[in-house]
Amino acid sequence: MSFTVIEQTTPRVHRSELAVPGSTLALFEKAAKSAADVIFLDLEDAVAPDDKDQARKNVIAALNDVNWGNKTTSVRINGLDTHYMYRDVVEIVENCPRLDLLLIPKIGVAADVYAVDMLVTQIEQAKRRDKRIGFEVLIETALGWSNVEAIAQSSRRLEAMCFGAGDFAASMRMRTTVIGGLNPDYGVLTDRDARGERRFLQGDPWHAAQARVVAACRAHGLRPVDGPYGDFKDAAGFLSAAKRAAVLGFEGKWAIHPAQIELANEVFSPTPEEVEKARRIVESMEQAAKEGRGAVQLDGRLIDIASIRMAQNLLKKAEAIASAGRA
């Protein structure tokens, strides 16, 4: 291990994050009753410019009046390049004592987070706010992605970074078919096999961007969360995107429609078989340690001290899900 110890952010179960437009009142109660771990009420891209003021009022009322149970609540404010943003921060943080997080979109540089932190700190002090607001930020522009490591270290309020494939594609001028989806042009043509045949193997255009966001988060104790998958009728496509994200180390994924919540919860929860295996790994390694051995065999495979760390991560996650009552 490095001599540098990384502090881990406030732990939260964050398998699914449901997006709810701030202009659609009818969805708030439903969202609160859903199985989503985190709900974000959106003031940004799901709200038309003419509806921004009303959406802000709706969100303030909902955060005070709706019973959100033990859910983590978040509000996506408007970007720092808009004049809506300062009012979003001031009015929401001043008037919503229940709120847990602000979701800041289109972060480009570390100073963007610093600026919002300054504003929130003043409001918290002036209003003697009990609950400290945390931040999640969206990495969804070429600029933000280029500065992702610095952004990851920009504020002690920062808990999570979300990868936003929609705006990222727009910013990078990528050619995509659906938000977070693939493109049939992206792949490799294999060399000829023994029969002289070649195959086209489709690839994942998000891989490099996502892997860098995960690494920046994990290096600095934050939760990496994968953003939207636009075709909410395509459960198989969503599941496949979520599984790829889980394999890379993401903690959870957005749901832009209630139909995606259970899918995300399922993919980002350890299965009973995984939990059982992790327990056996920990037990075998404890036995090995007693016998002075660093590596042992389990089910015909070598396991060593790194296996314990992976197993412990998995067990910790399963315990957090169970103790939040979300198993």
Q: Does 108 bind Mg ion (CB under 5 A)?
A: no
User: Residue 214: which of Mg ion, ligand GLV, none does it interact with, CB under 5 to 8 A by kind?
Assistant: none
Q: Which is nearer to ligand GLV, 59 or 275 (CB)?
A: 59
Bridge partner residues of 192 (DSSP)? none
Min dist CB 278 to ligand GLV, Å, is 33
Q: Using the minimum distance from each CB to Mg ion, give the nearer residue, 78 or 284.
A: 78
167 binds Mg ion (CB under 5 A): yes
> Shortest Cβ distance from residue 168 to ligand GLV (Å)?
6
Contacts with Mg ion in 137-166 (CB under 5 A)?
140, 164
- What residues numbered 184-213 form the site for Mg ion, per CB under 5 A? none
When asked if residue 42 is in the footprint of Mg ion (CB under 5 A), the reply is: no
Of residues 181 and 228, the one with the C-beta less far from ligand GLV: 228
CB of 124 to Mg ion, least distance (A): 27
Hey, how many other C-beta atoms are within 10 angstroms of the C-beta on 286? 10
Distance, CA of 157 to CA of 285 (rounded, Å): 36
By C-beta, is 134 or 228 nearer to ligand GLV?
A: 228
Q: Where are any strands of DSSP class E within the chain?
A: 16-21, 38-42, 72-76, 101-104, 134-139, 158-163, 187-189, 200-202, 223-226, 252-255, 296-298, 301-303
Give the bridge partners for 202, in sequence order: 187
Beta bridge partners of 161: 137, 224
**With CB cut-offs between 5 and 8 Å by kind, which of Mg ion, ligand GLV, none does residue 136 bind?**
none
| 102 is a contact residue toward ligand GLV (CB under 6 A) | no
140 binds ligand GLV (CB under 6 A): yes
Q: Which of 219, 306, 324 is nearest to 268 (CA)?
A: 324
Residues between 158 and 187 that touch ligand GLV (CB under 6 A): 164-167, 179
CA dihedral 152, 155, 160, 164 (to 10 degrees): -60
By a kind-dependent CB cut-off of 5 to 8 A, residue 63 interacts, out of Mg ion, ligand GLV, none, with none
Q: Are 99 and 126 in contact (CB under 8 A)?
A: no
- We find the least distance from the C-beta atom of residue 39 to Mg ion, in angstroms, to be 17
Residues 6+ apart with CB under 8 A from 190: 198, 199, 200, 201
CB of 207 to Mg ion, least distance (A): 19
CA-to-CA distance for 180 and 205, rounded, in angstroms? Answer: 9
CB 82 within 8 A of CB 88: no
Per-position x/- string for 232-271, each x denoting binding to ligand GLV as judged by CB under 6 A, each - no binding: ----------------------------------------
Instruction: Say how far apart CA 28 and CA 2 lie, in whole Å.
Output: 45
134 binds, among ligand GLV, Mg ion, none (CB under 5 to 8 A by kind): none
In the complex, the residues that contact ligand GLV under the rule CB under 6 A are: 138, 140, 164-167, 179, 227-228
In the complex, the residues that contact Mg ion under the rule CB under 5 A are: 140, 164, 167
